[in-house]
Amino acid sequence: MENPITFRPQPRSKRTYGVSIKYFDEDQVVPSKRVDFQVVIGIEQYKNEDRTWQLTIDRKELFINQHEPDLISEQLAALAMSALYPVKVDVNFKNEIFRGIVNHGEIVKRWADKAELLSDKYAGDYTALFIKKMNASLSDPSEVERALGLDMFWSAFFHPQYLNYGEGLSLDVDFYFPIVPYQKTRFSGKQLLTPDYTDYNTYQVNFRAADAIPDEIKWNDRSTQVLINAKFDLDRDGGLLKNVIVNWGIYHRSGINAGRRIQFSAYEINTGSEKINVVDNMAVQATQPVVEKKGFWERILG
């Protein structure tokens, strides 16, 4: 049985996600830290290359603990993000990146402008060191791609799902997810494709893994284990990600939480089409983006 899911999203389209990352300590119900932002993905299709798309991925509206960045370190991170994004990548029918970062030159130029603003606004050794490290990282396109791979949304969106699951609709796969900052942790588990469409007309792919505590996690109680569950909803028409939830935590063998949890979620919050022009090689080029309503985060975060 061939896998029914292929990545063939509607060209000339756009999808916006509301992303939330919550960190929990011990048995807390309220997260000790929360990060929220939006991701906007524009989709264009190459007309001269079979089953090849270009994705433009942008991030905006960053909130940390339900407020705009106010600490210097948070503001530096926000400015760096505004220089890094939007990012353009070319993908195939499995949503695999195969040409690296195609707009690297644009990123370098944006960062040069941001670095000048940073030097003027935040004087000091910390800022100078930050700029130096960013200069080194952004100068190398492969390093930029590696750094993007340490982003939770990036890891979830590009996780392999467009596979041949066989008659059992199940595969042993690895899920790389950055639960530790600046590191990508591998989880080996079982990935299942549900046999029927959901009530909201999506495919559902579920990943689950239970394993020993990875070495990169500082945790003394080795009698515990890590559990990770990921649920992906993909559009029936086109296979584009619609929603994803990833729950990770450290648990006792009995299944009781041992005290540390992370919940990552990304939900589609609106879609829109754009007026387009056909150009050489690229099938579409946006000219008049849809105007989005303001105040989403204010409504969600209260």
Query: Is position 31 within any domain?
Result: yes
Query: Is position 141 within any domain?
Result: yes
Give per-residue pLDDT as tens, 158-185.
Answer: 999 999 888 889 999 999 999 888 888 9
Model confidence pTM above 0.95: no
The CATH number of whichever domain residue 222 belongs to comes to: 2.30.230
Query: Is position 34 within any domain?
Result: yes
Query: Is position 287 within any domain?
Result: yes
Answer yes or no: is pLDDT of 189 > 70. yes
Query: Is position 6 within any domain?
Result: no
Residue 164 · residue 276 · CB < 8 Å: no
Mean pLDDT of 53-62: 94
Query: Is position 164 within any domain?
Result: yes
Query: Is position 5 within any domain?
Result: no
Query: Is position 81 within any domain?
Result: yes
DSSP letters spanning 179-245: -STT--EEEEEEEEE-SS--TTSEEEEEEEEEEPPPTTS--S-TT-EEEEEEEEEEETTT--EEEEE
Please give the tally of structural domains in the chain: 1
Range(s) of the domain holding residue 161: 13-301
Residue 152 · residue 175 · CB < 8 Å: no
Give per-residue pLDDT as tens, 272-281.
Answer: 444 333 333 3
